[in-house]
Amino acid sequence: MESIRPDHPLRLLFCGMVEHAFYTRVGVCDPNLTGYLADLLVEFTHVERYNRIRNAQGKELKQIASMLAVQSEDSPADGMERDRAIYRKIGDYTLFWAGVYPEQLKRSNPNSSDVLLEYVSKGKKCYAIVAELADEGDDPPSSMFKHLSEDFEYCLYGLGLVRRDWEHSPEAAGGELLY
């Protein structure tokens, strides 16, 4: 799937909304973090982008436990890079759903009373693992994932603010956010 270009209006909108929420209301003034979170929102506008983790048979994996189990299915040539990519995707997946649509977690997992806590715990742990597996010279650097792990709850709160802002923006009321 083609990436959304840097000057696309959706990317510019999310960059502005994330920066505003994090700088003025969360109190986190880190351009690298807000850029990562805006990119996450842009990338997850397409369902195919957040359901990229699949098992050996090609089936989409939507449960965190299934995603983690995928690691033991095969041993690729570069296991560390594969692990880093899988843990990053799980961290991104948990951050997106717990931050932007936490009410959906309970609906999709009615048998789990602590599903939000599970997502937070797994997301923090996955980002911490990525921080250990990544180097500071990587893009994004290991320090970004350490920051995401340590400040996961702030990121959840900030993404929730972004959602409320886009839902109550004049553009959303007029349907202009769709195109």
Domain regions of the chain by residue span: 9-178
Q: Which residues contact 35 (CB under 8 A, 6 or more apart)?
A: 15
Q: Are the C-beta atoms of residues 7 and 118 closer than 8 Å to each other?
A: no
Query: What phi and psi values does residue 60 have, to the nearest 5 degrees?
Result: -65, 140
Can you give the length of the chain in residues?
Answer: 179
The pair phi, psi for residue 10, each rounded to 5°, is -65, -40
What is the reported pLDDT for 72?
46
**In this structure, is the dihedral angle defined by the CA atoms of residues 120, 126, 129 and 130, taken in order, positive or negative?**
negative
Q: Burial level of 28, CB count in 10 A (0-12/13-18/19+)?
A: middle
CB within 8 A of 117, min separation 6: which ones? none
Interval 127-166: pLDDT, tens: 999 999 999 999 999 999 999 999 999 999 999 999 999 8
| Residue 102, pLDDT above cutoff 60 | yes
Residue 172 has pLDDT above 70, yes or no: no
More confident call, 170 vs 160: 160
As a whole number of Å, the end-to-end CA separation of the chain is 18
